Amino acid sequence: MLSNTEVLLRVAERDGTVVAVGAVNRSGEVTLNYVAPEARFAGISKALLAQLETELVTLGFHEGRLEATQTARRFYEKAGWLAEGPQATGRVVNGFPMRKRLVR
């Protein structure tokens, strides 16, 4: 059971199996957008990201933020997200900060 009122979590299922998980927080950040390897390149991550962006708009945000991995960076750029500074440092996974103006 998950219980955190600061995070809104979404899952995507295919044939009764969870194949993707995404989350936003109440600070206006996409904190998770993961798709299982066997479900990649089926449009699931793109649809999940659109849902997460809608969640942010519903929460009242005009702009969203996230930190992309090197692998996911191009995916987010294609979805309209822009680089917002240098790569993070000092962590196990040092992501790239990104932002996107959200349409109401």
Q: How far apart are CA 84 and CA 74, in angstroms?
A: 14
The residue to which tokens 């702009």 are assigned:
63
**Which CATH number characterizes residue 73's domain?**
3.40.630.30
The reply to whether 1 falls in a domain is no
**55 within some domain:** yes
Query: Where do runs of H (alpha helix) occur along 7-94?
Result: 44-58, 73-78
Residue 58 φ/ψ, nearest 5 degrees: -60, -35
13: β partners: 18
Q: Could you list the residue range(s) of the whole structural domain that residue 40 is in?
A: 7-101
Report if residue 2 sits inside a domain.
no
Is the residue at 57 inside a domain?
A: yes
What tens digit of pLDDT does each residue of 66-98 get? 999 998 999 999 999 999 988 888 878 789 999
Q: What is the pLDDT of residues 21-61, one digit of tens each?
A: 999 999 999 999 999 999 988 999 999 999 999 999 999 99
- Split into its structural domains, the chain has a count of 1
Q: In terms of C-beta density within 10 A (0-12 exposed, 13-18 middle, 19 or more buried), how is residue 82 classed?
A: exposed
Q: What is the pTM of this model?
A: 0.89
